[in-house]
């Protein structure tokens, strides 16, 4: 082969290698994406809603919405998100007074929503939702009126605690927890969480039938202690604001969202003086966090709804300043 032909072969090789390199880089960039925008929430732009998941359908109800002129108002609307079809549909409205800061949970394919604030008062009334009949029914009220609490289920019963409650002198944060037994339709008080500070706007999640609670706001500060609860006792874990020989991180914040995927928890957004779009992954076996995943790709927000379906996490609605949101995002972790 003559010199000219060799040069042509070399040039072709360089062009091919460059093209493959360019394609590879593009593919890698695509592979790095973990957040994908989905169908917008069917209701108005909303924050501080309650949610629960039944049979791979997420239900979002109540919350604080914005009119077109920006004026906030509370809603009773209920919407269901079908992740498989990527569609929202309207369901029977929540029957209690319109509110924000309510809590939701699921037991035996029945959804439960209650507590919150109606703009004047903290609330304690509770309701259950049957997805088969698309109906609500009032149940026993929580023993205390509370707003921005946490809720979770363990072994077929629910726990509601922390938040802002009403006292004779006004309102205050609390560490009280109450257990709901659906078979008896009764609430009973359980051991108060031994947190260093009473708090509202905390986050909670459940991994392998163990509940984890942390974050929140307490008298203008962001507590750093973090606990797990097995239904009978609380155990202190490593702080979420940590700086030692092994780890350095700080995810002390309030009004963050959370979901669990494949035995790991993810905490998204929230506020610690300013609203963030960060995402933190919790490793229960080592009791530590990292922020190696792609940051939330929507606008930074707090008071959003978080849930997981079929190995994916979802974030929808939320608040940043006076701006509320109706966008929905799916998170598919690469690692």
Q: What is the per-residue pLDDT across 90-126, written as a single tens digit (0 to 9) for each? A: 999 999 999 999 999 999 999 999 999 999 999 999 9
Residue 193 to residue 215: CA distance in whole angstroms: 13
Strand partners, 57: 54, 82
Q: For residue range 205-228, what is the model confidence (pLDDT) as tens digits?
A: 999 999 999 999 999 999 999 999
pLDDT reported for residue 30: 53
Residue 183 token pair = 């078979």
Ordered by where they begin, the domains of the chain are 35-331 (2.120.10.80)
Asked whether the predicted pLDDT for residue 298 surpasses 70, the reply is yes
Q: What is the pTM for the complete model shown?
A: 0.90
- Could you identify the residue written with the tokens 């309030």? 254
Distances (CA, A) of 305 to 56, 75, 329: 16, 15, 11
pLDDT reported for residue 89: 98
pLDDT reported for residue 33: 95
Q: What is the DSSP letter of 97?
A: -
**E strands in 131-287:** 135-139, 146-147, 150-154, 157-161, 164-167, 170-173, 177-181, 186-190, 203-207, 210-214, 226-229, 234-236, 241-243, 248-250, 257-261, 264-268, 279-283
Strand partners, 307: 314
Asked whether the predicted pLDDT for residue 184 surpasses 90, the reply is yes
Asked whether the predicted pLDDT for residue 311 surpasses 70, the reply is yes
Asked whether the predicted pLDDT for residue 167 surpasses 90, the reply is no
For the chain, how far is it from start to end, CA to CA, in angstroms?
A: 50
Listed in sequence order, the residues at least 6 apart from 331 whose beta carbon sits closer than 8 Å to its beta carbon are 34, 35, 259, 261, 266, 268, 279, 293, 296, 312, 313, 314, 315
Residue 24 to residue 1: CA distance in whole angstroms: 32
Residues 194/234, Cβ–Cβ less than 8 Å: yes
Strand partners, 245: none
Q: Per-residue confidence at 17, pLDDT binned at 50, 70, 90?
A: very low
Q: Per-residue confidence at 334, pLDDT binned at 50, 70, 90?
A: very high
Listed in sequence order, the residues at least 6 apart from 68 whose beta carbon sits closer than 8 Å to its beta carbon are none
Q: What is the DSSP letter of 27?
A: H
Looking at the chain, the whole-number percentage of residues with pLDDT higher than 90 is 86
Q: Of 68-72, 191-195, 212-216, which gets the smallest average pLDDT?
A: 68-72
Q: Per-residue confidence at 34, pLDDT binned at 50, 70, 90?
A: very high
Asked whether the predicted pLDDT for residue 284 surpasses 70, the reply is yes
Q: Per-residue confidence at 315, pLDDT binned at 50, 70, 90?
A: very high
> Residues 244-265: what's their mean pLDDT?
97
Q: Per-residue confidence at 31, pLDDT binned at 50, 70, 90?
A: low
Residue 50 token pair = 């309650």
Residue 299 to residue 296: CA distance in whole angstroms: 8
* Helix (H) or strand (E) segment spanning residue 21: helix 3-31
Angle at 178 between CA 172 and CA 182, to 5 degrees: 140
Asked whether the predicted pLDDT for residue 236 surpasses 70, the reply is yes
């Amino acid at each position: 082969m003559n010199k000219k032909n060799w040069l042509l072969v070399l040039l072709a090789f360089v062009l091919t290698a460059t093209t493959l390199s360019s394609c590879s880089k593009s593919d890698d960039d695509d592979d790095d994406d973990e957040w994908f925008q989905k169908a917008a929430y069917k209701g108005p732009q909303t924050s501080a809603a309650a949610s629960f998941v039944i049979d791979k359908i997420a239900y979002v109800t109540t919350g604080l919405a914005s009119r077109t002129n920006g004026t906030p108002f509370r809603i009773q609307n209920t919407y269901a998100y079908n992740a498989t079809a990527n569609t929202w549909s309207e369901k029977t409205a929540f029957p209690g007074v319109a509110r924000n800061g309510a809590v939701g949970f699921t037991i035996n394919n029945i959804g439960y929503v209650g507590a919150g604030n109606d703009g004047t008062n903290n609330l304690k009334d509770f309701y259950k939702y049957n997805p088969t009949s698309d109906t609500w029914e009032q149940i026993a009220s929580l023993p205390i009126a509370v707003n921005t609490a946490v809720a979770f289920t363990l072994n077929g019963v629910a726990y509601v605690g922390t938040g802002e409650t009403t006292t004779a002198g006004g309102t205050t944060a609390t560490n009280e927890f109450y257990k709901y037994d659906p078979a008896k339709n009764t609430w009973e008080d359980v051991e108060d969480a031994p947190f260093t500070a009473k708090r509202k706007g905390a986050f909670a999640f459940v991994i392998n039938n163990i509940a984890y609670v942390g974050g929140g706001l307490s008298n203008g500060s962001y507590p750093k202690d973090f606990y797990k609860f097995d239904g009978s006792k609380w155990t202190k874990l490593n702080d979420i604001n940590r700086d030692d020989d092994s780890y350095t991180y700080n995810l002390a914040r309030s009004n963050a969202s959370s979901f669990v995927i494949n035995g790991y928890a993810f905490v998204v957004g929230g506020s610690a003086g300013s609203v963030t779009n960060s995402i933190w992954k919790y490793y229960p076996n080592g009791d530590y966090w990292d922020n190696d995943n792609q940051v939330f790709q929507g606008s930074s927000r707090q008071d959003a709804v978080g849930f997981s379906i079929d190995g994916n996490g979802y974030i929808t609605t939320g608040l940043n300043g006076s701006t509320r949101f109706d966008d929905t995002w799916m998170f598919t972790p690469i690692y």
